[in-house]
Amino acid sequence: MDAFPTIASAAADLAAKKISPVELTRHMLARIAKLDGQLHSFLMVTEERALADAKAAEARFMAGTPRGVLDGIPIAHKDIYGTAGIRTTAHSRLLEHNVPAADSTVVRKWAEAGTVMLGKLATHEFAMGGPSFDVPWPPARNPWNTEHFTSGSSSGTGAAVAAGLILGGTGSDTGGSIRGPAAFCGIAGIKPTYGLCSRAGVLPLTYSMDHTGPMAWTVEDCAILLQAMAGHDPTDPASSTRAVPDLLSGLNRGVAGVRIGVVRHFHETDHKVNATVQKGIDDAVEILRNQGAVIREVTLPSLVEFQAAGFLILISEAYALHEKWLKTRWNEYGELFRDRVSFGGLISSADYVEAVRRRRELQQAVAAAMAEVDILLTAGAPTEAPKIEGMPKWSSLEKPGFTIPFNLTGQPAMTICSGHGAGGLPVGIQLAARPFEDALLLRVCQAYEKATPWRGMRPAMAA
């Protein structure tokens, strides 16, 4: 077995009977037991369930009836994804004893594909911001340096994938919660087109900006996972009725002729990135150009305009969800979540409506710019991961993030590793495509990933 199998390599080994699902699952459980005491990426390890899933997968392989590429693959779920009979807490004291009766749609789909569920992963409280030290479980730590932040909120998934404790996992993304941890933990994470993947059964942060999506070590693994989670779900009112695109067959088709728009002002003016991130972007441009992509520069509204509309919509909708508990159970929340979301109760209804009107204008501006390009390219995060202790409480309000524009527009966006900076900590680039062009986005990311050495490097603590 590879020291660090990917989903694709493990699937090949399982199909060739070089390993069994039970052996693979025991290998991952042993890694979790050895390393997660330092990382805190899991809130719960479901060992018994994992071994039962693995034995069922093994029986299918022995009978010659495996369910497909995900059969026997060990994964885990962010702890906002409802899991039948298994505690689902949103990393919050308020839901410390919450046990859903049913699986969320995505959990059910991955289970039906044959995955092995290793457990439930850390988030930040109710999938917002972080890190918090005053909630019942500690925040996940970055495996590249455990004194550093993972970003969030899909923090446990980012840490567990990077450390090789799981082969893939679920994330959710309302303002960047898949793409932030992908950047800081040096993995791949895609926020699919809004409506492509069901939100049903996933604890919400907002009504209009939440996306579910996969996180894994490679772009190919993300494509495999996304293929298994996408599709119409009548129980999610935002779910698209479009046919699920084939995300895998064209993955290695390359980028010749693809028009890539670099949103230079995002990372050079609106929020100037550090030298490592800038080099990652510049190198990516050259790599993609050398493979035949057509590179252009694109101008969009300023990042801060996306931040203003996005933050006000987010806190308004989150406040509506949490109003009752904020009024009656204030002290049971972590400080960071309750203080940020409380602003949603202090702004006016006109503020919210103006934010939604501005959202439509921003969406139209991005759509117009994308008439001339197929893909947008900018930073995934402005720097390497900062230290986890002592992060300023209101820092997310001071400088705009790079990810929230695509939560407002609903278009697919992906962050992948683009190098390593201070102390070996990774940095990431972010690419975005037009709505429902998730397959093209994955193809461009795959072309970049295959041309770079970053997938050969893992955190030292994980060795």
Binding site for another protein (CB under 8 A): 234, 241, 304-305, 307-309, 311-312, 323, 326-327, 330, 339, 342-343, 345-347, 351, 353-361, 393-394, 397-398
Beta carbon nearer to another protein, 260 or 362: 362
Kindly give, in sequence order, each residue whose CB lies less than 8 Å from that of residue 218, ignoring residues fewer than 6 positions away: 6, 7, 8, 188, 449, 455
Query: In whole angstroms, how close is the CB of 62 to another protein at the nearest point?
Result: 43
CB under 8 A, 24+ apart: contacts of 390-396: 391/131, 391/149, 393/335, 393/336, 393/339, 396/129, 396/340
Minimum CB distance to another protein smaller for 135 or for 431: 135
Candidates 20, 41, 104, 177; catalytic one: 177
User: Beta-carbon neighbour count of residue 345 at 10 Å?
Assistant: 14
Q: Among this protein's residues, is 177 annotated catalytic?
A: yes
d(CA 443, CA 445): 5
Residues 41, 78, 198, 316: which is the catalytic one? 78
Looking at beta carbons only, is 4 or 325 nearer to another protein? 325
Catalytic residue among 20, 104, 132, 153: 153
Report the candidate in 230, 276, 249 with the shortest Cα–Cα distance to residue 422.
Answer: 276
Smallest gap from Cβ 174 to another protein, in A, equals 17
**CA proximity to 118, closest of 78, 90, 153:** 78
Q: Is 34 part of the annotated catalytic residue set?
A: no
Tokens 């050495």 found at: 453
Shortest Cβ 80–another protein spacing (Å): 24
Q: Smallest distance from the beta carbon of 40 to another protein, in angstroms?
A: 27
Nearer to another protein, 397 or 422 (CB): 397
Q: Which of 333, 350, 297, 322 is nearest to 206 (CA)?
A: 322
Question: Are the C-beta atoms of residues 310 and 206 closer than 8 Å to each other?
Answer: no
CB of 105 to another protein, least distance (A): 17
Annotated catalytic residue 153 = yes
Instruction: Identify the residue whose tokens are 């009107």.
Output: 357
Q: What is the DSSP string of 341-391?
A: HHGGGTS-HHHHHHHHHHHHHHHHHHHHHTTS-SEEEEESSSSSPPBSTT-
Q: Which is nearer to another protein, 83 or 206 (CB)?
A: 206
CA end-to-end distance (rounded Å), the chain: 14
From residue 129, give the alpha-carbon distance in Å to each of 311, 356, 394: 12, 22, 10
Please check whether residue 413 is in contact with residue 190, taking contact to mean a CB–CB distance below 8 angstroms.
yes
Considering the complex, what minimum distance in angstroms separates the CB of residue 303 from another protein?
12
By annotation, the residues acting in catalysis are 78, 153, 177
